[in-house]
Structure 1
Amino acid sequence: MSLTAPPAPAPRASYAAVLSSPYVARLLGGTLTGRLPNGMAPVAILLWTSAAGGGIAFGGPLSALYSLASALSQPVKGRLMDGYGQTAVHLPAALLNSFLLLTLPAADPQSRPALATAIVAAAGLTAPPLEAGLRALWPSLLPPSPLRHAALALDTGSQGLVYIVGPLLVAVLTSVHSASLALAAAAALGMAGTAVVACAPPSRRWHLAQSARAAGPMRRQLRSPGLVLLLLSLTGTGFSIGALNVWAVTLAERHGQDLLSGIVPAAFATGSLIGGLVYGRRTWCGTAVGQLLAAGAAFLAGWTPLLALHEPPSLTVAVAVPGAFLTVVVGCAYATTDDLAPRGRTSEAYAWLILSIGVGQAAGTALSGRLAGHPLASASLPALGAAFALTVLLTARPSLACGGRARPRGRHRRPRGSRRS
C-alpha cells in the first residue's frame, strides 16, 4: 500500500464550477453590464441621428466614430491599468462616458454636426476598458487548468450578450419612446456595471509592477511579424461585425420593420454565444493557431448565404452561422496573443487586440453606411472582411506557429506582481 496520498482531482471544467469560484460571477456580470454601451451606443447614435434629420449617410460615420475612438484609446488605458491599477482607470472613464452619452441628445446633428461629432468622439475615448481588465484578472482568479480554459471560453462567448441585449434594448426603447432614451439607458447601465467591477476586491487589488525589463520586450514583441499580422487580421473580423450592424439597419428600413435593426445583430450574437459555450465545454485537438485558421475559414463560409437570401426570417437565421465561429476566432486570437505577450504588460497586449477589432468594426460601419443604398454591395461587405482576415492569417501562419510553440495549450502565464484574491 502506498503511503503517498492520491493527488487532488482537478476542478471540473464546467461553467457551474467557473461561476461558483470566488468573485467570478460578480466580475463577469459587472463587465457584461458595464460593456452594454458598446452594443447600445453605436446603434442608438445611428437611430438618433436618423430621427433627428441627419440621415444614415451621417449617422453611419458618426456611429463608427464612437467605436473607433473607443478602440484607439484601448492601449493607452491598458497601459494606465498596468501602471496604476484598474479602479483608478475604470471609475473616472465610466463617469465621463456616461455624462457624455447623456448630453449627446442636446446636440442637433443638422444644425451643430461638429458638436455632435466632438461629443461622440469624447464618449468613445472615455469608454472604460472592462474587457481587457477582466482578461488580465483571470490569472489571479483561477489557476492554469481546464477550469480556466472554460472560464476564458465563457468570458469570450458571453461577451456576445452585449450585442444581443444591447441592440435589442435600443430597438425596443426607440420604438417605445426615442433613441435619446436608449442613450440615457446606455449611460446608466455602463456606470452601474463599471462600479460593480471597480469596487470588487480583485479589481481594486490588481496591479502589475512596472520594470524597464517588462517594457522593453513589449515594444519588440509588438513589432514582431506574427503579432502584427494577427492584429491586422482581426481588423477584418471587426470589419465584418461593423458592416453587419449597418446592414441590419438598412434591412429594417427596406422592409419597414424597425425591430430588425436589433434582431439581426442579436441573432449573430446569439450564434456567437452558443458557439462559445460549445467550444468551452471540451479541450479541442490541435494548436491554437490551427484552430484559429479553421475557425477563420468557417467564419468566412458562414457569410456567403447573405448574398443569395432576401427575406428577413431566413437572413436572421443565416447570420447566426458566422456568429457561431466568431467566439472561436477571438478566443484563439487571445490565446495566441497571450503566447506572444511578455510578462508585465498583459492588459496592454489585450488592449491592442481589442483595438484591432474596434478599428475594423469602425471601418465596416463607415463603409457600409456609405453603401447603404446598394443592397448587394452592403450584404457582401461582411464576407469581404472575413476573407481579408483569413488571407492575412494564412500569410502569418509560420510566424504565429513559432510564437505559440513555447507553451502548451490551455496554460497562461501569471503576470508578475499579480495577487490572488
Structure 2
Amino acid sequence: MAGYGELLRTPGVARIIAAQLTARFPNGMTSLAVLLHIEHVTGSYGAAGLVLAATSVGQAIAGPVTSRWMGVWGMRRVLTLTLAVCATAIALLALLTLPLPLYMVLGFVAGLSTPPVQSAVRTIYPKMVTSRQLTPLFSLDASLQEIIWIIAPVLITFVALQAGTVPGLLLVVVILIGGGAWFIMSPELGRVRIPRSRRALGRVLVKPPVMLATATGFLLIGACSAVEAGVVASFGHSGLESGLVLAVFAVGSLAGGLSFGHIPIGRWAMARRFLIVTVGLTATIFSLNAWWLGGSLLIAGIGIAPALAVMFAITSASVKFSETAEAYGWIGTGQLIGAAAGSAVAGFLIDGVGPQGAYIAGTLFAGVGLGVAAACVRWFPDLRGRDSSPIPDTEPVHTIT
C-alpha cells in the first residue's frame, strides 16, 4: 500500500484517476437503466433486450473507431463530440415515447457515441509516471473500477424504483456530462497528444500481445457475465443475496488487484491469474448456497483485476504510442462481445439445466482462457525489469545538406 501511496502522490495521478472513474461511472448504470425504462414503457423484457443489444452493438463498433479518431482530431474534440451525442441520445430515450425500432436506433446511437474515456486515460498513463510505476498504476486502475460495478447498479436501481425510470436515465445523463466534463478539462488531456497512426484500422491486432489481450479479455468478461446471470437466477432479481454475492465477487477483484499490483509481469502471469479465476469458478458448480457461492466467488475475484492489469500492461509495452488508443479500443470491444456471449450462453443453460448451468458456462470460459494463456505463453512479453511504456513513434528527420 505504501507503493500506491507514492503513486497517488505523483502530480496529477489521483486527480486523473478520480476524473476518469467518475466519467466512466455511467457505464455501470446505463444498461440497467435502459432495461428498466424500456420494460416499464413497453411491458416487455424482450423489447428491452433488443434495445440493449442495439446499444451493445454500437459500443462494440465504436471502441476502436472513436479511439483511433483521438489521434486524428485530438482527445478533447473526440471526447466532447461523443459526450454530447451520447448524452442527447440517452435523454431522448428517457423523455420521448417512441415505437420500439426508434428506441433501438437511439440505443445504437448512444452505444456508438460512448466516450472513449478508458482508451484515453490508459494512453495518458505512460506519460504521467515512471516506467517502474506504470504496471502498479494499471493494476490500481483495474482494481478501482470495481467500485463502479459495486455502487452503480445499486444506485440506479434505487433511483428507478423510488423516483421512476425517467429520473434514473436523466441521472445517468447528469453524471455522464459532469464526469465527462471533469475528465475533458483535466490538464493532462491538453499536454498529451496522440500521434496520427499511419497503419490501417485493425492492423494493430496483428501484434500477438494485442490479440491475446483481446481474446483473454473476451473470455474473462464472458466468464464474469455468465456468473452474474447465474447469481441472479439463483436468488432472483430482488433477492438480497444476489447483490451481496456479486459485491463479494467485486471486492475479491479489488483486493486481488491491490495485492498483486506490485508483482512484475512475466510470461506466465496471465495463466496464473486465470488459474485463480478458474479454481474459484469451478467451486461454484457444487453448491448454490449463498455462503458457498460468496466464498467461491471471492477466490475467483482475486484473479480478475490482476488479469486485466496484465492485458493493459502487455498492450502498452507492445505497440507504438500512436496505436495505444486503438489497441485499447479493440480490447474493450472484445470485452463487450464477451459480456454478451457469456450472458447468452448462461441464459440458454439456465433455461435447460437451471442456475448451475451458468456457473458451468463461467467455468468453461475461464478454463478456455487458462488454456489460451498457457498455450500461447511464448507470445506474452516478459516485462520483468523492462519498461512497459509504449514504443516511441519515430519518423525520418529531413536535414539540409
TM-score bin, normalised by smaller chain:
0.7 to 0.9
**Comparing both chains, which one has the higher relative contact order based on Cα–Cα distances under 8 Å and sequence gaps of 6 or more?**
1
Report the CA distance between 1:44 and its aligned residue: 2.3
Report what 2:399 is aligned to: none
Residue 413 in structure 1 maps to residue 390 in structure 2: yes
From 103, 107, 116, the counterpart of 1:129: 116
Report the CA distance between 1:206 and its aligned residue: 1.8
Partner SS, residue 258 of structure 2: helix
Residue 113 in structure 1 maps to residue 100 in structure 2: yes
Report the CA distance between 1:159 and its aligned residue: 1.2
Q: How is 1:142-221 mapped onto 2 (pairs within 5 angstroms)?
A: 142-145=129-132, 147-210=133-196, 212=198, 215=199, 221=204
User: CA separation in 2, counterparts of 1:372 and 1:47?
Assistant: 22
Q: Aligned pair in 2 of structure 1 residues 161, 44: CA closer, same or farther (>3 Å)?
A: same
From 368, 379, 385, the counterpart of 2:359: 379
Partner SS, residue 29 of structure 2: helix
Q: Aligned pair in 2 of structure 1 residues 299, 29: CA closer, same or farther (>3 Å)?
A: same
Unaligned runs of 5+ in 1: 1-11
- 1:21-52 residue CA offsets vs partner (Å, 9 max, x unmatched): 22212211111111112111122233334444
From 9, 31, 37, the counterpart of 1:42: 31
Contact 2:280 2:297 in 1 (8 A): yes
Report the CA distance between 1:328 and its aligned residue: 1.0
From 241, 254, 257, the counterpart of 2:224: 241
TM-score, length basis structure 2: 0.87
Q: Aligned pair in 2 of structure 1 residues 126, 320: CA closer, same or farther (>3 Å)?
A: farther
Report what 2:334 is aligned to: 356
Task: Give percent identity, aligned residues only.
Answer: 24
From 283, 295, 307, the counterpart of 2:263: 283
User: CA separation in 2, counterparts of 1:149 and 1:326?
Assistant: 15
Residue 234 of structure 1 aligns with an amino acid whose one-letter code is G
Q: How is 1:312-351 mapped onto 2 (pairs within 5 angstroms)?
A: 312-351=290-329
User: CA separation in 2, counterparts of 1:371 and 1:183?
Assistant: 31
Contact 2:32 2:156 in 1 (8 A): yes
Contact 1:298 1:325 in 2 (8 A): yes
Report the CA distance between 1:67 and its aligned residue: 3.6
Q: Aligned pair in 2 of structure 1 residues 190, 244: CA closer, same or farther (>3 Å)?
A: farther
Report what 2:21 is aligned to: 32
Unaligned runs of 5+ in 2: 395-401
TM-score, length basis structure 1: 0.83
Partner SS, residue 22 of structure 1: coil
Contact 1:243 1:367 in 2 (8 A): yes
Residue 398 in structure 1 maps to residue 385 in structure 2: no
Contact 1:82 1:348 in 2 (8 A): no
Q: Aligned pair in 2 of structure 1 residues 170, 392: CA closer, same or farther (>3 Å)?
A: same
User: CA separation in 2, counterparts of 1:230 and 1:150?
Assistant: 18
User: CA separation in 2, counterparts of 1:265 and 1:68?
Assistant: 25
Contact 2:149 2:250 in 1 (8 A): yes
Partner SS, residue 69 of structure 1: helix
From 55, 70, 73, the counterpart of 1:81: 70
Count matched residues. 392
User: CA separation in 1, counterparts of 2:145 and 2:293?
Assistant: 22
Report the CA distance between 1:359 and its aligned residue: 1.4
Contact 1:61 1:366 in 2 (8 A): no
Partner SS, residue 289 of structure 1: coil
Report what 1:96 is aligned to: 85
Partner SS, residue 183 of structure 2: helix
Deviates more, 1:293-302 or 1:306-315: 306-315
Report what 2:52 is aligned to: 63
Q: Aligned pair in 2 of structure 1 residues 415, 208: CA closer, same or farther (>3 Å)?
A: farther
Contact 2:317 2:387 in 1 (8 A): no
Contact 1:36 1:189 in 2 (8 A): yes
User: CA separation in 2, counterparts of 1:153 and 1:75?
Assistant: 22
From 207, 221, 231, the counterpart of 2:214: 231
